[in-house]
Amino acid sequence: MASSVFLVIYLSVGALFLQQIAQVIYNVFFSELRKIPGPWYAGITGIPKQYNAIIQRKQSRWSHEMHKTYGPYVRIAPDEVLIDDIVAFREVHRMGTPYLKTKIYQYLNPTPPGTPPYGLFQETDPIKHSNVRRMVARGFSLGYLRENWEATVHDRVKAAMKGMKEEAASNGGEVDVYKWWPLMAGDVISTLMFGECPYAIERGLDDELIAAYKLNDAGNGFAYSFPYIYHILKWLPIPSLKRAWAGNPVLIRQGQQAVKNSKGMSQKANIFAKVLAEAEKDDPTLSDFEIALNAGVLVFAGTDTTATSLTYLVWAVLSNSGLRRELEDEVAQLQIPYTDEKVESLPILNAVVKETLRLYGAAPAPLPRYVPREGALLGGYYFPAGTTVATQAWTLHRNPAVFENPDVFDHTRWLGDLASREDVKASWAPYGAGSRICIGMHLADMELRLATTAFFREFKGAELAASTTRESMEVDNTFLIEPHGGACKIILPTE
């Protein structure tokens, strides 16, 4: 009996091994993707891609080097291709596109790995996504934000300036802006989502929800990248692993407050109050859990993204004393109180914001999509159904045919008619593109404008600390970017 069991096991393992060998032979010698340039291992494994993204934290840079080596179409795994082609980019990300988000997004959800329901960013079903987005978008129009939430942004920016001053006063003038911008952005988006400010700036600490998100994100990211290992490890009674893969219980608890505030049981309004109040009779309803889930998802999406771009903006400006003086002089001319609408008219400031988003947009990594079931012809290559194709803003924004000297931070490129050129419009994607473009981009732009204005009005003559170098600010990233040194320290002027 035992010998029969072992025979079955041996045969099963052998069959699996032969199946894998056959699959490799097909991928290397017979797949349609074999015609696409790429490294020698691409037909065998995608491990180098995962290694560079997760271990080396160089996903966008590595993908960019692949394009520089192999061209606009690069096979990087048996069923995955990177694309740097404006025509294909517009096709893949157009409104109504049949190229759907891959399942990786479902692992970026605040629930346990790959477990529904999914938030707005993670939902891969286009109909479900469209229904929720149509409702939530009402609270993110620029006009509505300016009328109802601009005062919150001003308040939190002012609090951040005060916090930086106090830290500098007790630390020899030195302050880490990479600490303060996330606290500011987290306070803003949490107030909009939950109707209550966590006052992370005043406490000088990440909100509990943000801290829990970082653990949840790391756990889910590992589960997606190494599913076989995850399905083994998840059964081990190790508390740290259990917490990493338990979803985000803090979100659910705080999300309950978002639900309460959105339904008029409190005087504390939030974005979802408007969403529910203006829901039309034919609109699908959002369950209490879906409100909580989406509130949390939007908090995550609106914190590190804005904060990181602000950090790189400050670094880039302070790296150029001439630009710093120009920007300081421009914002100094504003009469208090100034509005976001007024700030939006400042040419140098807005050119600096545009150039920051070009080089240091927070999410420049490849955006993976599945080829539709009928297959596709892109760039002269045929792509079978189910193939993963991915474009990335990092490479689109560094196209020398579109942006002269693309690796140089040069705000003056935006002081002319560059933004109105068709090739720029076609490749400009700091917030994504098409129906999946970032729903919070108007809020992000407002925060970038108002925080930049306040910083260079308040801290005229600020300088980079000796520890803040080009090497320390080198970009690391898996999905979002961050400084390699984990800080951006500056010296504030003494009064």
pLDDT at 251 over 80: no
Q: Residue 212's pLDDT is what?
A: 67
- Whole-number pLDDT of residue 282: 64
Q: Which two tokens stand for residue 80?
A: 């995955």
Helical pair 288-301 and 177-194, crossing angle rounded to 10 deg: 160
Task: Report the alpha-carbon distance of residue 27 to residue 77 in Å, rounded.
Answer: 10
- For residue 266, is pLDDT > 60? no
* pLDDT-based confidence at residue 12 (cuts at 50, 70, 90): low
pLDDT at 126: 92
- Which residue, chain included where needed, has tokens 């949840």? 216
Q: Which regions of 127-284 does DSSP assign to beta strands (E)? A: 174-176
Lowest model confidence (mean pLDDT) among 2-16, 80-94, 197-211, 382-396: 2-16
Contact between residue 289 and residue 117 where contact means Cβ atoms under 8 Å apart: yes
User: Exposed, middle or buried by CB within 10 Å (0-12, 13-18, 19+), for 237?
Assistant: exposed
Confidence bin at 6 (pLDDT 50/70/90): low
Which letter does DSSP use for residue 482 in this model?
Answer: E
Residue 167: pLDDT over 90: yes
Question: Omega of the bond prior to 182 within 30 degrees of 0, cis?
Answer: no
Provide the pLDDT for residue 462: 97
Which ranges in the chain are annotated with CATH 1.10.630.10?
109-364+397-491
pLDDT in tens, 308-324: 999 999 999 999 999 99
As a whole number of angstroms, the distance between CA 431 and CA 340 comes to 20
Is the dihedral angle over the CA atoms 101, 106, 108, 110 positive or is it negative? Answer: positive
* Higher pLDDT, residue 291 or 180: 180
Question: Does residue 495 carry a pLDDT above 60?
Answer: yes
Amino acid at 245: W
pLDDT > 70? residue 264: no
Q: What are phi and psi of 176, to 5 degrees?
A: -100, 105
Average pLDDT of the chain, as a whole number? 88
pLDDT at 408: 97
With 0-12 / 13-18 / 19 or more C-beta atoms within 10 angstroms meaning exposed / middle / buried, residue 91 is middle
Amino acid found at 359? L
pTM of the shown model: 0.92
Task: Name the phi and psi angles at 75, rounded to 5.
Answer: -80, 120
- Contact by Cβ (8 Å): 16, 32: no
Judged against a pLDDT cut of 80, whether residue 103 lies above it is answered with: yes
| Least confident stretch, 27-31, 299-303, 341-345 | 27-31
Among 49-58, 223-232, 303-312, 332-341, whose mean pLDDT is lowest? 223-232
Instruction: Measure the CA–CA gap between 487 and 412, rounded to whole angstroms.
Output: 27
CA distance 181 to 419: 27
| Closest of 398, 406, 410 to residue 317, by C-alpha | 410
Angle, vertex CA 300, rays to CA 297 and CA 306, nearest 5? 135
Q: Are 119 and 109 in contact (CB under 8 A)?
A: yes
The CATH homologous superfamily for domain 109-364+397-491 is Cytochrome P450 (1.10.630.10)
Q: Are 349 and 331 in contact (CB under 8 A)?
A: yes
DSSP letter string, 66-120: HHHHH-SEEEEETTEEEE--HHHHHHHHSTT-S-EEPGGGGGGSSSSTT-SS--T
Determine the pLDDT at residue 198: 86
> CA geometry: angle at 306 spanning 136 and 495, to 5°?
135
How would residue 227 be classed by pLDDT, with cut points 50, 70 and 90?
Answer: confident
Looking at residue 30, its pLDDT comes to 72
Please tell me what DSSP assigns to residue 479: S
